[in-house]
Amino acid sequence: MVKTIVVLPTYNEAENLPPMVSEIFSLGIEGLEIIVVDDNSPDGTGQIAEELASRHPGRLWVIHRQGKLGLGSACLRGFEEALARGADYVVEMDADFSHTPSYLPLLLEKMKSCHLVIGSRYVEGGRVDERWSIWRRLLSRGGNLYARLVTGLSVQDTTSGFRCYRREVLENLPPIGSEGYAFQIEMAYLCQKRGYRLCELPIYFQDRALGHSKMSLVIILEAFWRVWQMRWRHR
């Protein structure tokens, strides 16, 4: 049996976490567990996660961090714990339903022939929420094009945070220094540099219905300069 662990980084996701966990477990995927990595959310997400863990003993685990330390480091901490718990596949996804849990079986099916599968908005069949403004569409598309031109990445959606990694991929990557969008780009870049097979699964990316977005200008700007740094660092 293949063991899959879903890593959910959270910060102020008290409204979204219970239905997200419920929907993931309702898929009936054999050997699936969840790790919640909470950055000391002031809205009580961490405590809610503990309550969910008590309802799903042996299937849901919680990591509490001291503060808002960033998406990249939260994911890496979750990956570390997932590997320690024997995961064969490690999924990274948002807890706000912008990544729909119903795609998980398709993601895992595609893993049979890939080392990393990315839920992609920008391959044929993928799309984004119709409510996105022209500015947001241009920023996302332009950022992906920029990252691909600088790094030579073959994937169309370099910044997607809906992914599944094989165990050996995570075990053999060097230290990662990026956060936010740049973290996603650096992870994909290193996988490609090491000859792993990267695949994309078309998804519909919808805006969150509850809570608030964590996107900021700082995260966007970091991605723009980090791509040059990662190209130099991992040359």
Per-residue confidence (pLDDT) for residue 233, from 0 to 100: 72
Per-residue confidence (pLDDT) for residue 155, from 0 to 100: 97
Q: Which residues pair with 205 in a beta bridge?
A: 128
Per-residue confidence (pLDDT) for residue 178, from 0 to 100: 85
Distance, in Å, from the CA atom of 86 to the CA atom of 91, rounded to the nearest integer, reads: 13
The CATH superfamily of 4-233 is Spore Coat Polysaccharide Biosynthesis Protein SpsA; Chain A (3.90.550.10)
Residues 6+ apart with CB under 8 A from 22: none
Per-residue confidence (pLDDT) for residue 73, from 0 to 100: 94
Q: Which residues pair with 89 in a beta bridge?
A: 4, 166
Cα dihedral: 138, 179, 114, 100 (round 10): -60
- What's phi and psi for 169, nearest 5 deg? -65, -50
Per-residue confidence (pLDDT) for residue 223, from 0 to 100: 62
CB of 91 closer than 8 Å to CB of 6? yes
- What's phi and psi for 62, nearest 5 deg? -125, 135
CA–CA–CA angle 15, 17, 49 (5° rounding): 110
Residue spans of the domains in the chain: they are 4-233
CB atoms within 10 A of CB 62: 22
Q: Which of 59, 57, 164, 150 is nearest to 106 (CA)?
A: 164
The tens-digit pLDDT sequence of the chain (235 residues) is: 899 999 999 999 999 999 999 999 999 999 999 999 999 999 999 999 999 999 999 999 999 999 999 899 999 999 999 999 999 999 999 999 999 999 999 999 999 999 999 999 999 999 999 999 998 898 889 889 999 999 999 999 999 999 999 999 999 999 898 887 889 999 999 999 999 999 999 999 998 665 555 455 555 666 666 777 776 777 6
Strands 204-205 and 127-128: parallel
